[in-house]
A and B are shown apart, each in its own frame.
Chain A
């Protein structure tokens, strides 16, 4: 039995939860058709819709943990619920999305059961021994890690598996459970939640053209031409993490492993070295045109097109050229 912790967003399973179910389905098939049980904790908006969705993605049953303990989040309490459900279902594998919550809850479970946990798996290799590949060094390297104790506990890195619904799945059975949670597991629980910041990153994720800038911009005032070119091309501005860490531009503009993943028709990274964590977020751009003073920068050697030069000279020249050709945004 494979147990999959599901996170919900506005009542539906989150994207990364569905990716995790897809990973679990491959694993289940490799094991000769092992059953998959989904676990949801706390309030559920529309039970029938969620049951149908999870069935479509491979869950045979949904175990729903209810009770006062789950009215606000506590990693330890969620792990207590998962532990109880894993015991009653005698599951040999427990997995969750490689999200902050998923990693936290499974780390609690692994500590309780005193077994290893692999965070952010991207693939598995056979079952005996059960070896997973996972992202380390912020995605710059991969680790093969053996999970030979039961239950095998791991989380699944986002974007590493494609969501794959099953045609004509029969509805998942809904099993409500009320696991006991010790007082100690509720000490570190959320006492209040602020309002969600408006997500400004949508326009970046859907833009057809993204003009990017990194440390090479030199400071918050170095983005004038970047923004102007983005506007001329009807696109968005995307930046490297250095830029957001230094407070030059807001976080919602960050592209990369810990920012947005973009897939525009054209990405123009200027003064961005192309570190693997940045590359992770822009690798699926159709065409990349890099502008950099250093022709050996990783971004310059990975791009389709490159201009060697100072972005503060190159960008204004491009803008002038476009205007002289009658491009006006």
Chain B
């Protein structure tokens, strides 16, 4: 039985145009909506697979605003068992704060006899891209951590994790309890079932407050990169444009 803790984050969906909040401290999610980043969706999938195979449990944890219950519920529906929200205003938090809060919850749960054999996180958050929370948290807990892995397997109290390295696929093998940060690509995240959604509604989300004053992200401000100047020439609509396109190719010298 393997109990897995998966740390997820509410992030703005950044595939469309990114806008900033008026105080330039965050991404304005009003028009784009919020989601869980791909790395974390894969971490959740791996966790659910491990729990199913070993008769274990998956607990979700997020440090963020009360609205993050939306991401916790959506993710619970994928077959997770419990969820914890450490409520905090995200712009006040830096990676060291998030790492400290996760470590704090893990320690308190352990004192109350719940251990997490494996803690999974995304390799980096889609918005802040700090690349540090998993490592800082593992350091605080004194646990070994592997990074950027795309598959994990648990057997006989041991974690085998694989990921792409500079010289080829790398394999790590280490004893539990351990921490791993997951890169997307190793598994295909599942979709929620109706039963999953119903079950997720019934789960009581444990809500906590910060255990310490945040040290913050040392952020001065966010900026948008300057837009590229463009003078686009429309060559036409639909198949009728083919002649103009062929003329362009000839002009650019790409057809002989």
Contact = CB atoms under 8 A, between A and B. Distances in A.
A195 to B, nearest CB: 5
A309 B237 contact: yes
B236 A307 contact: yes
Contacts of B18: 137, 140-141, 276
Contact of B239 (A184, A233, A235, A317): A317
Interface string B135-159: 1100110101111100000000000
A194 interface: yes
A314 interface: yes
A187 B140 CA distance: 16
Interface string A248-281: 0001000000000000011000000101100100
B242 A190 contact: no
Interface of A: 7, 9, 73, 75-76, 99-101, 103-104, 107-108, 110-112, 114, 116-120, 131, 133-148, 155, 184, 187-197, 208-209, 232-233, 235, 245, 251, 265-266, 273, 275-276, 279, 283, 287, 289, 295, 298, 300-310, 313-314, 316-318, 320-322, 325, 327
Given A303-B232, A305-B232, A314-B239, A135 B246 contact: no
The majority secondary structure among interface residues of chain A is mixed
A119 B174 contact: no
Given A75-B135, A137-B126, A265-B252, A187 B175 contact: yes
Nearest to A325: B246
Contact of A137 (B127, B178, B220, B230): B127
Contacts of B53: none
B146 A144 contact: no
Assign chain B's interface to a size class.
Answer: 35 or more
Nearest to B244: A307
Contacts of A100: 147-148
B248 A289 contact: yes
Given A73-B165, A143-B222, A184-B142, A208 B148 contact: no
A108 B139 contact: yes
A143 B20 CA distance: 11
B221 A144 contact: yes
B228 A307 contact: no
Given A143-B222, A307-B236, A190 B165 contact: yes
Given A188-B146, A194-B169, A309-B239, A144 B132 contact: no
B254 interface: yes
The residue among A101, A107, A116 with the most chain B CB atoms within 10 A of its own CB is A107
A144 B170 contact: no
Interface of B: 12, 14-18, 20, 27, 38, 94-96, 99, 124, 126-132, 135-136, 139-140, 142, 144-148, 165-175, 178, 184-185, 217-225, 228, 230-243, 245-246, 248-249, 252-256
Contacts of A103: 124, 131
A233 B254 contact: yes
Contacts of A235: 254
Contact of B231 (A146, A304, A322): A304
B130 to A, nearest CB: 6
A24 B149 CA distance: 30
24 contacts: A76-B144, A112-B139, A114-B96, A116-B96, A117-B95, A119-B129, A119-B131, A131-B220, A134-B129, A140-B224, A142-B222, A142-B225, A143-B220, A188-B144, A208-B254, A233-B249, A233-B254, A251-B185, A265-B252, A304-B232, A306-B233, A306-B234, A321-B245, A322-B246
A104 B220 contact: no
Contacts of B224: 140-142
Contacts of B223: 133, 141-144
Given A141-B222, A194-B169, A104 B246 contact: no
B170 A302 contact: no
